[in-house]
Structure 1
């Protein structure tokens, strides 16, 4: 299998999505990709166990992408070997009435991982500078004092939101949360094919909504907004990775490999026994054996 340098997928300078491929050739079969993913999952599982015992860090995985980009199946496949008690998946929908009574980041604070655990955001706090930017009338539901009409939502408003999100991520990373953000980069043609499969395959019919087609008409606007997000909020402490997503199996492997490469940079280790326990291990061992 062709080696992938995951560092080349990290956003470290201004990018244009039209210049980034949505498909990457890893020169191998689907079966071999699954084997590589399996090996990577097992390594991540062992690392998860060590991180849980270490109890100093939590991990926040953020997944964004256009409809049909493969977020749900990616979560299912990448986290398959994890201890289920150590992973919580949050799928953020339209804010409910309670959430709208707070600032737009409030519900995301509540979903942050405990130390030793992973939180996966399936759609994230970035919806607040993506969907709301494409549909600015949604902002009016937040009852912000200075915003009384769509005309009040100026470019400066979005710049302030980028700054707030960067500050939010800076704060949580300084307190032990590792943030890794993935944009699943899908082509418009591949989305068309996946929407057609939803219509043509009975067991996937339930996933289709006419609203998907309305949002698809805004494809170029979404791409522009995603570019702004990636260019304004990819930081050393909370980087974005642009993952070619036209092939789901390849995208899953790439995300798993990036997670492993990035998390291996941390010195997770099992805590040592206290000296008084360590010096008496033989006594405890003999005591248990004597019960047999």
Structure 2
């Protein structure tokens, strides 16, 4: 799979119209993708075992998308091969009052992975330059100094947030956190289809909220905000990948392939055993084999 076509280059302007929302090739189909995804899961499980044993890196995987793009199912299908003891999944909803009494990155910091572990953020700190930008009145709930009306939220406010996010992620990267950010690029037509499925299928009714329809009314605004956020915050060590999401099987395989490809670039391996440790292992083996 050609991974480079998904990656947003640092400093590159982003127009989502230039990115496919579905699979346009002929070499793959749903059945073959299932087999490839299973192979990728096994590969990721092996890397996770080395990651945990080495205890040097941590991994932060971020999933952002419009509603119904398949974030939950991506977590379910791709990450199922991981050992649950080393993986944490966080789904961020609207901030609570105690969370609003801290800076906007605080609750996301609490959910960062420890060394040797993987954290998946289903929605993330990027909600603070997406939802709040489409609905700037939400910023007022943060009770920020000098911001007591929407009129005072200027363009420079969002530019500062992009800088703060880049600084935050740069610090994480420089101290051993591998950051992979995925935008699941869904078409408006496919979102409509999935919303109707949620309405018509009793087993999916619980997934649907009227708020989803209200947010769909802001589709163009969200697309613009995503374009600016992706362009402003795709960094060398914290890249964004724009994943076609109309075909769930292709989206899952694409995400798994990107993760595996990024791991290949790192020196993740089992810890090297010293000569003293090797000698101790042989002593232990002799003691064990000499037992009755």
Alignment match, 1:221? 221
Extract structure 1 runs of 4+ deviating beyond 3 A.
none
- The Cα shift of 1:123 comes to 0.2
Alignment match, 2:7? 10
Q: Deviations over 1:161-210 (max 9, x none)?
A: 00000000001100000100000000000000000000111100011111
- The Cα shift of 1:26 comes to 4.4
| Structure 2 Cα separation of the partners of residues 188 and 84 of structure 1 | 34
| Structure 1 Cα separation of the partners of residues 18 and 86 of structure 2 | 37
2:269 counterpart of 1:269: yes
- The Cα shift of 1:16 comes to 0.3
Alignment match, 1:24? 23
Alignment match, 1:44? 44
Question: After alignment, is 12-21 or 190-199 more displaced?
Answer: 12-21
2:125 counterpart of 1:107: no
> How well do the aligned residues superpose, as a CA RMSD in angstroms?
0.9
TM-score under structure 1 normalisation?
0.97
Alignment match, 1:80? 80
Alignment match, 1:236? 236
Equivalent residues of 2:14, 2:228 under 8 A apart: no
Alignment match, 2:192? 192
Question: After alignment, is 23-32 or 117-126 more displaced?
Answer: 23-32
Give the direction of change, closer, same or farther, for the CA distance of 1:92–1:173 in structure 2 (3 Å limit): same
| Structure 1 Cα separation of the partners of residues 178 and 25 of structure 2 | 28
- The Cα shift of 1:237 comes to 1.2
Where structure 1 has 5 or more consecutive residues not aligned to the other structure, the ranges are none
Q: Deviations over 1:223-271 (max 9, x none)?
A: 0000000110001010000000000010000000000001110001111
- The Cα shift of 1:131 comes to 0.2
Equivalent residues of 2:90, 2:122 under 8 A apart: yes
For these two proteins, the number of residue pairs brought into alignment is: 289
| Structure 2 Cα separation of the partners of residues 280 and 219 of structure 1 | 63
| Structure 1 Cα separation of the partners of residues 242 and 232 of structure 2 | 14
- Secondary structure (helix, strand or coil) at the match of 1:60 reads strand
2:244 counterpart of 1:247: no
- Secondary structure (helix, strand or coil) at the match of 1:138 reads helix
- Secondary structure (helix, strand or coil) at the match of 1:168 reads helix
- Secondary structure (helix, strand or coil) at the match of 1:64 reads strand
Where structure 2 has 5 or more consecutive residues not aligned to the other structure, the ranges are none
